[in-house]
Structure formats: structure tokens, C-alpha cells
């Protein structure tokens, strides 16, 4: 913990953007924790929260957070900023152990696997069992407790969540918390060895009903007790029986359900912890839907009666540039974390809420980037410039300038997103000065970013991609104004 604090302290002297600081969190702080989290019992919630506090203080430069941490921790494609969620990280590193458990290597084999009542460990991990129902004892406060706790928590599905015919038929009979007898999960070894494993093994496809006891013992060649068989059948939840009855004539091919999918991922993938992390991190966190609602009302469209996919939309805007500084800015802008006079006045950091440039209206986001007279002029010039050169006809609208939403189909869309982003950023950078921003001024800034991106492209050997992206802009600024 001290080491993390120290290394973050060194970096906090540097003037980094939001995404720059998040990258430092990932590479410096989180990488130190990964070894510990994957090899030792899970630390207490208090500890993880304490670490998170240190990380967030660094991300927000020791001031209050501007974007909810539950939003920051979501993946980028869901409007988050990919800040590592320590609890989910811990969980996915622990679940990834199951692959090692199943491949049966290493000395821990004697410690834990011998207690698992089923030799077929893969079957065991597909069992759908709640942690409290596990039939073996696990050392308390050992890493094994965490592994099994997390696995059960994330793989267990209640009766309600298993409502697909194929999922039900392929459910394990043994050690299934949804099929208890006398309030306990059961495992009958001799039956299991006769390959009676899944609900479908109790079902007679010829009669479209469960086997009668006599047919059942005939088929599997076992000496069973009729009472056992009846109690097993009655342990199948009534809801499932109804679904089986309704769908047993449908001929649907089997598709693996949630738990099977997750286990297949763990078995087939070396870096399964990363994949598990991606699968679940959004469920544990929040989406910035409230931001979209605000933007929608600002640009006079309702968030509901448009087929615009906001998440994809802001994601595309984010990817239109390689500059970390611009990416940070556009993310903050989309999240409406913008120091307008209205906001600064509200928190007591400005003695007026009025716009510095026109001195007549309150400066909120819409005013700062669209409503102010100086802005209307700038947008007009920029759009005329683009329209003239590319022989197109974009209208200067509130939704185009503020949110990059165009009415017509445009071939150069990433390019416009980029130009508009640079305009917004330049306006923001100059918000405290009386400097008049001109089209030429914007072109100079665009050239600066082109140079930055060209250097990145050369370093990554992606010069052709760079050229393709900027081709339209080269045309733009090589022509006379």
C-alpha cells in the first residue's frame, strides 16, 4: 500500500490528463496488486476500499470526484473509463484458478481436490451449486474459500433464471442447489457412474415423459429403490417440469447456457481472468444514462424517440483521435464534467455566472459551446469552410455542433468528429481569455494534432491508416481559404 502511494505521488507531480492518470493507475498500482490478489486470500473489503480511495484521489488530483466511480469503472463501450474495479479484479483472478484446479497439477491437488466428491471435476464445476450447499469443508480464510465462493456466486443460477428448455434438460442432477432432497443437494455415486448425470437422462424421448421406474432401471441396468427415484423426480422444480412439457416436442439444437459458457471460456483460454473481468465488470457498475438524458434535452431531442445508440456514439467520438489528451477531454465533455461559469459560481469559485465573452447570458455548457454569439459565428465559418471544400451541405445545428449528430449521411464522419472535437477543445482552452478564435486558428491546432498522431502512427507502423484518416483534412487545408 505504501509502495502504491509512493509511486502515485511521484506521478502526481506531472501534469497528466484524466486518461493519462487512469493509465498510471492500471500500469503502476494495479499491476502491483495482481500478484497478491491471484495468490493470496482476498483482502478485506475495507482494504480494497482504502486502496480505491488512494487511487481515486490520484485520478481526481486530491479533489472531489467529478464522475461517479461506478461509471468510471465500467468498460468504455458502456460509457465508462475502464478504471480497474478491484473487487471484480480479485474475483476474476480467483475464478481463473478453476482452470488450474481442473488440470490437476501442483501440490494443492491433495489439499482440496481430494475432497471434491465427484472425480469428474469438470462435471463438478458445472453443477450449479450455491456456496452454502457445498458438500465438502474448505479451510476458512484460505484462497480456496474465495475461489469456491466466487465461483458459486457467479455460476449459480436460481430456478427463475433457468427458463430455457435446453438449459433445463442439460442441468446437472447432482449437487444442484435447485434440486434438493430433504433440503440437501445429493450425489449418488452408483447412479452417476451409470451415466445418469443430467435431467435429460431421466427423460424418455419415445414417450415424451419421464421414465417410469421400471423402464428406468431397465435402461440403466441399476438396482434402484423406487422411493429414491420418486424423490429424485420430485426434486425437479415444478416450473421446469412445465417448461419441459411445453417444449419437449420442439426440436431445438442445444446451445450452452450462461454457466457452461463461462466454464468453457475458463477452460479454453489462458488469460481467462481478463475475459471474466470483461464479462462481469459492467454488471457490477453503472452506466452514465443520466448524462445522456441531459444531453438529449440540451439538443432538443428526447433520449427515447431516437434510435441513436448513445454508448456507441460517444465511443466513436472517443476513438476518432489517438491523442490521450483529446480522449480525456471528449470523455469529460460527454460526461458533462466542464467548468462552466454557472458551475464555478455555484461552488463559489466565480463571482458571476455570466459568460465572460458576451457578459449577457448565464454560461452553461450549451451557451459555452453553442449559444454565445461568438460561437455561432465560429461554427458558421468552420462549417462553411468544410462544406465548400468537400462540396457537401452540413447544416449548422445544435445537435451537429454539440453532439456530432448529423442529419445527412457523411462519408468523412470520423473527420468531422475530429474537427468538431478540436473546435470544442480550443474553445474550452480559451474560455478565460478574450482571444477571438478563427478558422485559421482551428486549422493550426488541427495541424498540431496531425503531427502528434503522425508520430504515433510511425512508431506503431500504421502510416497507411494515418494517411487514410487524414486524407480529407489534407485536402481541406491545402486549399485556399
Applying CB under 5 A, the residues found at the interface with Zn ion are 355, 357-358, 372
DSSP state of 268: H
Smallest distance from Zn ion to CB 365, Å: 12
CA distance 76 to 330: 13
Residue 154 CB neighbour total at 10 angstroms = 19
Residue (of 4, 16, 18, 14) closest to 80 by Cα position: 18
Smallest distance from Zn ion to CB 77, Å: 35
Smallest distance from Zn ion to CB 379, Å: 14
CA distances from 139 to 47, 176, 257, 382, 387 (A): 22, 22, 31, 68, 70
Which CB, 84 or 340, lies closer to Zn ion?
Answer: 340
Which CB, 146 or 363, lies closer to Zn ion?
Answer: 363
Q: Are 124 and 116 in contact (CB under 8 A)?
A: yes
Smallest distance from Zn ion to CB 83, Å: 34
Q: Are 363 and 342 in contact (CB under 8 A)?
A: yes
Cell of 277: 473481468
Which CB, 332 or 357, lies closer to Zn ion?
Answer: 357
Smallest distance from Zn ion to CB 356, Å: 7
CA distances from 69 to 85, 173, 193, 354 (A): 9, 41, 50, 31
Smallest distance from Zn ion to CB 427, Å: 11
| β-bridge mates for residue 198, sequence order | 172
Cell of 56: 481515486
Smallest distance from Zn ion to CB 291, Å: 23
Residue (of 88, 20, 21) closest to 48 by Cα position: 88
Which CB, 71 or 372, lies closer to Zn ion?
Answer: 372
Smallest distance from Zn ion to CB 20, Å: 31
Which CB, 363 or 453, lies closer to Zn ion?
Answer: 363
CA distance 257 to 271: 21
CA angle 173, 134, 224 (to 5 degrees): 35
Cβ within 8 Å of residue 84, ≥6 positions away: 25, 26, 30, 73
Q: Find how far residue 455's CA is from the centre of its chain.
A: 30
Smallest distance from Zn ion to CB 280, Å: 46
Which CB, 381 or 387, lies closer to Zn ion?
Answer: 381
Which CB, 313 or 357, lies closer to Zn ion?
Answer: 357
Which CB, 355 or 400, lies closer to Zn ion?
Answer: 355
Q: Are 476 and 389 in contact (CB under 8 A)?
A: yes
CA distance 336 to 97: 41
Which CB, 89 or 357, lies closer to Zn ion?
Answer: 357
Amino acid at each position: 500500500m505504501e509502495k502504491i502511494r509512493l509511486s502515485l505521488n511521484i506521478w502526481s507531480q506531472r501534469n497528466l490528463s484524466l486518461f493519462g492518470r487512469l493509465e498510471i493507475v492500471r500500469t503502476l498500482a494495479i499491476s502491483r496488486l495482481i500478484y497478491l490478489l491471484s495468490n493470496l486470500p482476498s483482502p478485506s473489503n475495507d482494504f480494497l476500499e482504502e486502496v480505491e480511495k488512494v487511487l481515486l484521489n490520484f485520478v481526481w488530483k486530491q479533489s472531489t470526484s467529478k464522475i461517479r466511480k461506478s461509471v468510471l469503472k465500467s468498460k468504455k463501450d458502456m460509457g465508462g473509463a475502464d478504471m480497474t474495479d478491484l473487487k471484480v479484479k480479485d474475483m476474476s483472478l480467483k475464478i481463473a484458478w478453476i482452470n488450474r484446479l481442473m488440470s490437476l497439477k501442483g501440490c494443492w491437488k491433495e489439499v482440496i481436490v481430494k475432497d471434491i466428491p465427484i472425480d469428474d471435476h469438470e462435471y463438478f464445476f458445472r453443477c450449479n451449486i450455491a456456496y452454502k450447499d457445498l458438500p465438502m469443508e474448505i479451510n476458512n480464510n484460505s484462497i480456496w474459500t474465495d475461489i469456491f465462493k466466487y465461483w458459486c456466486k457467479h455460476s449459480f443460477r436460481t430456478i427463475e433464471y433457468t427458463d430455457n428448455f435446453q438449459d433445463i434438460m442439460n442441468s446437472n442432477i447432482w449437487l444442484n442447489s435447485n434440486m434438493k432432497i430433504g433440503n440437501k443437494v445429493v450425489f449418488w455415486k452408483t447412479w452417476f457412474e451409470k451415466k445418469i448425470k443430467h435431467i435429460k437422462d431421466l427423460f424418455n424421448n419415445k414417450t415424451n415423459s419421464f421414465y417410469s421406474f421400471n423402464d428406468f432401471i431397465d435402461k440403466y441396468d441399476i438396482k434402484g429403490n423406487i422411493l429414491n427415484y420418486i424423490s429424485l423426480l420430485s426434486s425437479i422444480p415444478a416450473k421446469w417440469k412445465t417448461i419441459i412439457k411445453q417444449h419437449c416436442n420442439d426440436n431445438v439444437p442445444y446451445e450452452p447456457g450462461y454457466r457452461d459458457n463461462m466454464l468453457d471460456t475458463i477452460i479454453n483460454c489462458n488469460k481467462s481472468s481478463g475475459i471474466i473481468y470483461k464479462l462481469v465488470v459492467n454488471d457490477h457498475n453503472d452506466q452514465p444514462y443520466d448524462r445522456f438524458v441531459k444531453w438529449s434535452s440540451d439538443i432538443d431531442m428526447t433520449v427515447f424517440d431516437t434510435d441513436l445508440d448513445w454508448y456507441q456514439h460517444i465511443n466513436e467520438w472517443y476513438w476518432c483521435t489517438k491523442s490521450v489528451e483529446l480522449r480525456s477531454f471528449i470523455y469529460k465533455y460527454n460526461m458533462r464534467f466542464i467548468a462552466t461559469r454557472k458551475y464555478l459560481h455555484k461552488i463559489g469559485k466565480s463571482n458571476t455566472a455570466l459568460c465572460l465573452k458576451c457578459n449577457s447570458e448565464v454560461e452553461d455548457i450549451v451557451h459555452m459551446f453553442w449559444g454565445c454569439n461568438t460561437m455561432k459565428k465560429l461554427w458558421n465559418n468552420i462549417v462553411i469552410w468544410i462544406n465548400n471544400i468537400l462540396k457537401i451541405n452540413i447544416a449548422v445545428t445544435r445537435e451537429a455542433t454539440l453532439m456530432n449528430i448529423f442529419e445527412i449521411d457523411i462519408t468523412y464522419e470520423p473527420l468531422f468528429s475530429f474537427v468538431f472535437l478540436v473546435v470544442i477543445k480550443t474553445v474550452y482552452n480559451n474560455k478565460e481569455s478574450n482571444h477571438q478564435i478563427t478558422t485559421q486558428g482551428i486549422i493550426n491546432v488541427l495541424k498540431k494534432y496531425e503531427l502528434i498522431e503522425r508520430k504515433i502512427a510511425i512508431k506503431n507502423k500504421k502510416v497507411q491508416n494515418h494517411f487514410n484518416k487524414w486524407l480529407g483534412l489534407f485536402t481541406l487545408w491545402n486549399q485556399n481559404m
